[in-house]
Amino acid sequence: MGVRVRNRKTMSDLNDKTKKLNWYYYRDKDGCGDMSICHYMRLDYLIRLLETKQFYVSRRKHFVDANESHSNKGIKFAFGLSNIKTKSSRKSEERLIPYKDLVSCPTSCWTMCEHESFLMWKCYATEVGACIKTTVHNFIASLEIDLDETNEDNKVLCGSMDYQDNLLFSFDEEKQLFDKDFAFADEKEFRFYFLLNSTFSESPEAINIPVNTEVMIDEVLLSPFIVKEAADKIARMMNCAYNIDVKQSKIKLKP
C-alpha cells in the first residue's frame, strides 16, 4: 500500500534523539502501545505539509458534530503517562491538567482503519486528495515541539473514540473528549489533543505545528477519483520534488 519515504530513520534512532515518546498521555483503556493510523486530506494540504513541514490541525470547535461544543477548563480522568510502566504507578499520574479552552483545542483526527475507505475519501479528501499512513509513535516522534511532564510544558493527549446511541451531554471529561454519536462509528477514529503553551503559527480555525515529515509519513496514496494519467504525473512530480514514491488508490472506479 502506498508510498515509502526514503532514508527513513528507525524508531531506535529516534529514541536516541528525542524523549517525546516518554511524555505523551493516553487513555487508560488504550494503553501506550503503537498502532497504524491514517489521515485523509486534500492534495494541496499534503503538498503544503511537505513543503512547509507544518501540520495543519483544526480547532475542535469547527467540527460539524454539535457534541464537540462541550466546554471545561481542565482534564481529569484515568489517563496514563507513557513513561509509567506499571498500573499502580500509572494511577499516581492521574491528575488535573489545566487548559484554558478545550472547545478551541487543536485536535487531529485519524482513522484506525488499515484498509482504504471509500467513504473517507468522499468525506475528507475531495476528488483531488491523498491519504497518509503512519503510527501513533511515529506521529508523536515527528512533532517538533517540546514535551515534558510539568504543567508549564506542551502536552499531547491521545486515544480512540467511543461511539454511543442517543449521545447526551456528560460532565465526565473523558466522555466529553472521546465519545461521539454512533452515526460516526465507521470512521474508527483515533484522536490527538494538543494542549499547547507554546506559540505557533495559528488562526481562529487552526494551528500549524512543525513536524519532521520523514518521521511522520510511512505511506501516501492518491485518491481513486484522480484519473490515472493525472495521478501518474502527480506521482512523478512529488517524487522529484520531495523524494518520495506515491501510488494511486487500489479502489477501482468506473470512468
Q: What is the mean pLDDT of residues 127-147?
A: 92
Q: What is the rounded distance in angstroms from the CA atom of residue 118 to the CA atom of residue 48?
A: 24
Computed over every residue of the chain, the mean pLDDT equals 81
Length, in residues, of the chain: 255
Of 56-65, 72-81, 206-215, 216-225, the poorest mean pLDDT is in: 72-81
Query: pLDDT of 171-191, one tens digit each?
Result: 777 888 898 989 999 999 999
- pTM here is 0.84
pLDDT class for 19, splitting at 50, 70, 90? low
Question: Would you call 176 exposed, middle or buried from its count of C-beta atoms within 10 A (0-12, 13-18, 19+)?
Answer: buried
CA distance linking residue 210 with residue 203, whole number of Å: 15
pLDDT classification of 231: cutoffs 50, 70, 90:
very high
pLDDT of residue 3: 39
- The rounded distance, in Å, linking the Cα atoms of 1 and 140 is 22
pLDDT value of position 2: 43
3-state secondary structure (DSSP) of residue 180: strand
Distances (CA, A) of 80 to 85, 88, 129: 9, 11, 35
More confident residue, 127 or 52: 52
Per-residue pLDDT at 1: 42
Strand extents, DSSP E, the chain: 25-27, 36-42, 54-58, 74-75, 79-81, 97-98, 107-111, 129-135, 155-160, 162-164, 179-181, 189-195, 206-210, 219-222, 247-248
Higher-pLDDT residue of 84, 23: 23
DSSP single-letter state for residue 216: H
More confident position, 9 or 236:
236
- % of the chain residues with pLDDT over 90: 40
Residue listed under C-alpha cell 493516553:
26
Alpha carbon separation from 21 to 120, 128, 142, 176, 239 (Å, rounded): 29, 34, 10, 25, 30
Sorting pLDDT into bands at 50, 70 and 90, what band is 92? very low
182-201 mean pLDDT = 87
Q: Mean pLDDT, to the nearest integer, of 150-154?
A: 70
Say if residues 38 and 110 touch (Cβ distance below 8 Å).
yes
The answer to whether 107 touches 195, Cβ cutoff 8 Å, is no
Backbone angles phi, psi at 249, to 5 degrees: -55, 150
